[in-house]
Amino acid sequence: MYAITLSSIFLAKQGVPTSRYRGPRVKIIRRLGRLPGPTQKTHKKKPDFINRSTSSKKASKYRVRLEEKQKLRFHYGLTERQLLEYVRIARGAKGSTGQVSLQSLEMRSDNIILGLGMAPTIPGARQMVNHKHILVNYCTINIPSYRCKPKDIITMRNRPKSQAMITRNRDSSRKYKKPNHSTFHSSQNIGLVNQIIDREWIDSKIKELLVVEYHSRQA
């Protein structure tokens, strides 16, 4: 606990947020553009960062990288420390650091649940996991960051509240494009993880290379 406290103090002194953002989600998409993870809502006005870019001659490289990092962080609902840890782990893996980071984030249980249409947003999926509505391979999990693997089976607990929740969420999510790495079998209310997600199926307009460049001095 003492080490964690020292780490939190160090990050705070560096200006690094150590807690997850819990403010208005529309405010974030107004500032950064469409982010399907935190909310289904959209904002009709142009994002603030577009207005800033047009009002100034040229945005600095640091600001452009910062905005891409913020998009990634708020889309997946991460703390700064969590995002930095994903980048660090990806650096030690084979392949593009940015792509590996995105794939690792997409294979989290909360993102898998969102992709299956079992939850309307990532915060909604995280709450379902925290409240133990979700089973992976028929075992209860309560950790949203749990990394799912190919052939994992995702189901809901066999109780009326959980089943009613999945029916409601599935009905509201049918208009959205579903990723290719998971399949939901509605006749059985079962989701299946088919494979590691392909980059082109990740529904975000985030330039992950710029995020890696932003963290290059920290990761």
CATH 3.10.290.10 domain range(s) in the chain: 108-195
CATH fold for domain 2-105+204-214: Ribosomal Protein S4 Delta 41; Chain A, domain 1 (1.10.1050)
Q: What is the pLDDT of residue 10?
A: 37
SS3 38: coil
In the DSSP assignment, the letter for residue 199 is: G
Q: Which residue has the tokens 């600095």?
A: 60
At residue 25, what is the residue type? R
Q: What is the pLDDT of residues 181-204, one digit of tens each?
A: 899 988 888 999 999 988 888 766
Q: What is the pLDDT of residues 129-166, one digit of tens each?
A: 999 999 999 999 999 999 999 999 999 998 888 888 88
Distance CA 103, CA 193 (A): 13
CATH superfamily, with its number, for domain 108-195:
RNA-binding S4 domain (3.10.290.10)
Q: Which range is least confidently modeled, 53-62, 78-87, 173-182, 196-205?
A: 53-62
